[in-house]
Chain A
C-alpha cells in the first residue's frame, strides 16, 4: 500500500522557524516534492528531493532520508504570507511514476 503522513495543522510566530515533517510508505520511490497551497488557489512547487540530504532555496529548505522514509520542510524567517497549506508528495516508481499527495499541513502564522 501507500501512505503519506504529515501533521494536519501547525502554528508558528512571524520571524520564527518551523519544520513540517512528512513520512511516507510507498511501493516505489522516485523523488519527493513539497508544494505550497494558499486557500482556494492552485499548489505551487517549492522543492524536490531524490537523494538524501538537504536542499536549500532561500528561506525554504527540504531534507530527505530515503532509508527512514522521512522528509521535512524548513521555513525560516516566517512571514505572514507563509500562512498556507504545505503538501508533501511522492513519485511512486512502481506505479507509473505517479505523484501521490499527502493530506497537507495547514500552517498558521501569528503576528
Chain B
C-alpha cells in the first residue's frame, strides 16, 4: 500500500537536545513538506522540497533543518535552537510542487520537550 510513514509517533526530548523526525513516502511524489500544528493554530509550513537535493524554507524554519538526499525521504531535525519545539509535526507529499495535486499526510509525530 502506498503512503507516508512518520516515526516516531511520540517523542520526548530534554531541553538542549536535537531530535530527528523521520518521513518516508512510497507514492513516488516529487514534493514533500513539513508542517507544525499547535493547539488553536493552523498548520504552519516549516520546510518544503519540490525535488531531490533541493529544499526551501517555509514560514517558520528557524531552529529546524532538513535534507532531501533521496526522493522518498525528507527527515526533519528539531535543533536546540528551536525555542518552543513541543508540537504536533506533520509530513506531507504531493505529486509535484507546481500542479494542483493535493497533499497526502503522514500520521504525525508528537514531540514533547521536558
Q: Taking beta carbons and an 8 Å cutoff, which residues of A are in contact with B?
A: 4, 8, 30-31, 33, 35, 40-45, 48, 50, 87, 89, 91, 96-104
Q: Find out whether the CB atom of A103 lies under 8 angstroms from the CB atom of B98.
A: no
Query: Nearest residue in A to B38 (C-beta to C-beta)?
Result: A103
CB of B45 closer than 8 Å to a CB of A: yes
Chain B residue with the shortest CB-CB distance to A46: B102
- CB 8 Å contact bits of B18-52 with A (1 = contact, 0 = none): 00000000000000010100001111110010100
Task: Please name all residues of chain B whose beta carbon is closer than 8 Å to the beta carbon of A89 when the two chains form the complex.
Answer: 43
Q: A43-B105, A91-B100, A103-B42 are in contact. List 14 more A-B contacts (CB 8 A).
A: A8-B40, A30-B100, A40-B88, A42-B90, A42-B108, A44-B105, A45-B103, A45-B104, A48-B102, A87-B42, A97-B97, A98-B58, A100-B45, A101-B35
A96 CA / B98 CA spacing, docked (Å): 7
A31 pairs with B56, CB closer than 8 A: no
Contact of B105 with A102 in the complex, beta carbons under 8 Å: no
User: Given A33-B102, A41-B108, A43-B105: A101 and B90 within 8 A (CB)?
Assistant: no
Distance of A98 Cα from B40 Cα, bound (Å): 21
> Which chain A residues lie closer than 8 Å to B56 at the CB level?
96
Give 1 or 0 for each of B76-102: 1 = CB within 8 Å of chain A CB: 000000000000101000000110101
Contact between chains at B107 and A41 (CB < 8 Å): yes
| Closest B residue to A6 using CB positions | B42
Least CB distance from A2 to B in Å reads 9
Whether A103 lies near B41 (C-beta < 8 A) is: yes
Is the pair B97, A87 in contact by a Cβ cutoff of 8 Å? no
* In the complex, chain A residues whose CB is within 8 Å of the CB of B35: 101
